[in-house]
Structure 1
Amino acid sequence: MKLTQLPHRTLAIVRGRDRAAALRTVLTLVEEGITATEVSLTTTDALWVIEQARRELGPDALLGAGTVLTSDEAARAADAGADFLVTPGVVEGLGTGLPVLMGAVTPTEIMSATGRGAVAVKLFPASFGGPAYLTALRAPFPDVPFLPVGGIDAAAARAFLAAGAVAVGVGSPLIGDAADGGDLAALRARAAQWRSSLAGAATI
């Protein structure tokens, strides 16, 4: 998985209480050009959502499982059709062979995540230090791909990308209540606004 090639340098994070609505949210995002999506395992029937989305979208959409904590969860996500895994912190021994975006925030955690083969560091929570903290981290870790997640709206996304993030993860500012059964037209409007807002930062 090449994070620098994410459309709009965006990973959409879907988390909701309604499995059918969560699936519709994933499909709508892809229709709107936001084709890299993480379905959090805290979503109701998340593995079903991933499996159905994979059937609907085929092999081209980039579909991952988020909030992966154990090797069993990782294996079930892989079986459901996930392309990659996302963890909230440093997790050992997931053992699926899938690319892993591993959560970290301190230098020690970043070294641990990269030492365990993370393809990128999910800088979480990104609000911990903001773009200035990412700038500081990139001095000792210039070759680590960072993907900030947590409390990121469009303005924060632009700032993090300017600070050197390869992409950003965005949840509620983009998803809103769509994954709980909210208005898909409103989701489409937010997706269009998000794409427009990051147009200068997006390279694809």
Structure 2
Amino acid sequence: MSVPLSPVLLESRVIAVLRAADASFLRPAAEMLAEEGVRSFEVTLTTAGGVDAIADLAGSLGPDAEVGAGTVLTVEDLEAVLAAGARYVVTPHTDPGLIRAAVRRGVPIVPGGLTPTELRTGWAAGASAVKLFPASAVGPRYVKDLHGPFPGMPVIPSGGVDRASAGEWIRVGCPAVSLGGPLLGDALAGGDLGELRLRAREVVKGVAEAAAEVSGG
């Protein structure tokens, strides 16, 4: 049985993927994003000092935000990020054993896949949702096609989701979208946080409008 996605993510519908050469830039960027309504943060383990960065953000962003871990490849990675305070985990691949390990620990997990077989395998193993990666290879219509045979499978696109198209993924039934570079830009390399604020507003507005259309609001 899967662990549900958090209300924080289901309300905000945007995951900010934080991947940086220098983890010191993560907190200012995350705090800015949180002010604009992006409240779910995936710190990738390809970030130098990623586990420590998870602990830092988990302790600083407060209860209205959640910090997760990305690029989790092994059970050892899983244990390390949970000890640091990660509230969900994301993988770039489909590993049923790792999914079951997360479920046993009561943590949401979103494994990556591209083909129907990979995505369904992750969902059947107990994933909270599946990550369509790289989403740029297929586009939003692919999710509609997947929901033909797999109507109950939540799909979160990642890899190539841009600001302009974020809402389209919500319109085809995705519970959330995952954005890295198109949202963060150069903010994780010491770039302009004012520009980051504007990008965040664009994404949040587009996703909120799409969600309202889907719900009929």
TM-score bin, normalised by smaller chain: over 0.9
TM-score by length of 2: 0.87
2:2 corresponds to 1:2: no
Q: Match for residue 106 of structure 1?
A: 115
1:34-183 equivalences under 5 Å are 34-94=38-98, 95-96=101-102, 97=105, 98-183=107-192
Identify the match of residue 18 of structure 1 among 22, 31, 38.
Answer: 22
3-state SS of 1:198 partner: helix
Measure, in 2, the Cα distance between the counterparts of 1:11 and 1:115: 23
What's the CA shift string for 1:39-76, capped at 9, x where partnerless? 11111211111101111123441210001111111110
Q: Which amino acid aligns with 2:174?
A: A
Summarize the Cα distance change of 1:60–1:3 in structure 2 as closer, same or farther, 3 Å threshold: closer
Measure, in 2, the Cα distance between the counterparts of 1:137 and 1:202: 20
Structure 1 stretches of at least 4 aligned residues deviating more than 4 Å after TM superposition:
none
Q: Percent identity?
A: 42
Question: Per-residue deviation at 1:3?
Answer: 5.7
Measure, in 2, the Cα distance between the counterparts of 1:44 and 1:185: 25
Count of aligned pairs between the two proteins? 204
2:196 corresponds to 1:187: yes
8 Å CA contact 2:166–2:206 kept in 1: the answer is no
8 Å CA contact 1:104–1:123 kept in 2: the answer is yes
Measure, in 2, the Cα distance between the counterparts of 1:20 and 1:88: 24
Measure, in 1, the Cα distance between the counterparts of 2:19 and 2:193: 15
Question: Per-residue deviation at 1:196?
Answer: 2.3
Structure 1: give runs of 5+ residues left out of the alignment.
none
Q: Which amino acid aligns with 1:117?
A: G
Question: Per-residue deviation at 1:154?
Answer: 2.4
- The CA RMSD over aligned residues, in Å, is 1.8
Summarize the Cα distance change of 1:117–1:104 in structure 2 as closer, same or farther, 3 Å threshold: same
Q: Which amino acid aligns with 2:79?
A: A
Instruction: Tell me which of the two structures has the higher relative contact order, counting C-alpha pairs closer than 8 angstroms and 6 or more residues apart.
Output: 1
3-state SS of 1:155 partner: coil
What's the CA shift string for 1:11-42, capped at 9, x where partnerless? 11111111110222222211222101111111
TM-score by length of 1: 0.93
8 Å CA contact 1:7–1:202 kept in 2: the answer is no
3-state SS of 1:169 partner: strand
Measure, in 1, the Cα distance between the counterparts of 2:5 and 2:190: 32
